[in-house]
Chain A
Amino acid sequence: MREFRYEKAADPAGAVALLAGAPEGAYLGGGTNLVDLMRLGVATPDVLVDVRTLTSDLVEELPDGGLRIGAAVPNADLAADLRVRQRFPLLAQALLAGASGQLRNRATTGGNLLQRTRCTYFTDVTQPCNKRAPGSGCGAVTGLHRNHAVLGATDEGPGSPHTCVATHPSDLAVALRALDAEVRVLGPGGERTVPMADLHRLPGEDPSRDTTLAHGELITAIDVPGLPWAVRSRYRKVRDRASYAFALVSVAAAMDLDGSTVRDVRIALGGMAHAPWRATVAEDALRGGPATEEAFAAAAEAELAAARPLPDNAFKVPMATSTLVRTLLQISAEARA
């Protein structure tokens, strides 16, 4: 781990000012991913600005029935919040499916969104990785990629500086993506709001950047807009172990039914791409149509038609398809009950 200076600020603006003057610095939230990456030599900040207790650790009501989640709210506390459990079951389920009780106690809401990929080439500084060491190539496309992206990845071969097939590891982000959450950010230039749709990016030609945030921008809160029909929603995570493992595939879904017709639907997929993947093709296919297994399957297949799997992760396409179909069937069965 590289040597660093540890700094505290009086308030968020002070933290932003500190980091603005430290081009190689970083914010420290719960540290559950950053300290891990620093110990591996993957993250090498020279200044750490502790923001764990700077931003809000409260979950507050929004006028539309939504919730404003302070960036410092620990994952465990957010999952335990009765309003989250009752209004947004998929959000509580996503949080509870992530990591372990210990990690959820320490990890913050803001930090969770900024987790970095668990690709083993990214976390091993002796291996090529365009995300960690731009231009070094990609070890995963010819190596271990069983749990890598099948949607929206860049694969121009192992030697290309663009290639990246990493996935985003957060469960919470997938649920927030389905809920059209907005991320409130404080930066040197002031406050701005970033829709979840715009927060995480696909690798494109620059896999080194996970998000659209600029250096020094600090997440202060996440707004989850009200969505009454999210009471019937689910987060289904498929993983190698029964617990304490990253997703192979996950589905966040909410559905609003009018009798047997899909009035509206939200679907996001995890474990499939460099960013939480909003399944807009499937949503469009379903909206206004029948809530039947055939329709769900057709929508899932339409969404996954864009998949470009590698040899060892092709299973994710049928796995995501059947998991999505089952999740929608469960929600519609609940709605009818």
Chain B
Amino acid sequence: MDQQITLQVDGARSALTVDTRTSLLDALRERLGTTSAKKGCDHGQCGACTVLLDGRRVNSCLVLAVTAEDAEVTTSDGLAADGPHALHEAFVDHDAYQCGYCTPGQITSAAGVLAEAAQGWPSAVTEDLAAERTELTDAEIRERMSGNLCRCAAYANIVPAVAEVAAAQGVRA
């Protein structure tokens, strides 16, 4: 069933027609021609489609486009609106990718991790759940980035890349 919607993606508003069945991911990739977010499984099992939806990281493959009408969608490309984001530079510096396909999702996810840490959110490996401050140790980064699979297995480079930006943002000593 077709429906007219307006999406705000990487700062630009676009009116488009979607099927009610269209995922946010497919709306971006097949209807708007915005291909920064990738499809790796279409079921929330890999994280390649991660975007920031009103600043929170989500799997865009599981979000129906019609529900994203009033939301602000940010892809990895959108993080570079004012020049490369610190995460972009850190990923390049640490060679935190190989084929590059899961990478935009890793970067939006990492942006989400940094924001969550700044709010003091705990994770499954947080020792003291009652602590109000979050310290993004290597173990914390590994756990929090585990929703983004990388078959090239750049994990051991992704961790220092995220750690570098975390330190600069004050969520890591």
Contacts and interface: CB of A to CB of B under 8 A. Distances in A.
Q: A and B: direct contact (Cβ < 8 Å)?
A: yes
Interface in B98-143: 109, 112-113, 116, 119-124, 126, 129-130, 132, 142-143
Contact of B1 (A6, A32, A243, A244): A6
Given A5-B20, A31-B63, A243 B146 contact: yes
A86 B56 CA distance: 24
B59 A80 contact: no
Contact of B62 (A31, A97, A101): A31
Nearest to A50: B67
Interface residues of B, number: 43
A3 B146 contact: no
Interface stretch (B7-15, B28-36, B42-50, B80-88): B42-50
B57 interface: yes
Contacts, number: 118
Interface in A52-91: 52, 76, 79-80, 82, 85-86, 89
Nearest to A88: B129
A89 B62 contact: no
Contacts of A193: none
A176 B126 CA distance: 21
Contact of B58 (A1, A6, A92, A106): A106
A93 interface: yes
A40 B42 CA distance: 10
A36 B46 CA distance: 13
Interface in B143-173: 143-144, 146-149
Contact of A103 (B20, B59, B64, B142): B59
B4 interface: no
B112 A1 contact: no
Given A3-B1, A96-B124, A243-B142, 5 more contacts: A4-B20, A30-B62, A32-B59, A48-B64, A85-B122
Interface of A: 1, 3-6, 28, 30-32, 35-36, 38-40, 48, 50, 52, 76, 79-80, 82, 85-86, 89, 92-93, 96-97, 99-103, 105-106, 241-244
Interface of B: 1, 3, 19-21, 23, 42-44, 47, 50, 53, 56-59, 61-64, 66-67, 109, 112-113, 116, 119-124, 126, 129-130, 132, 142-144, 146-149
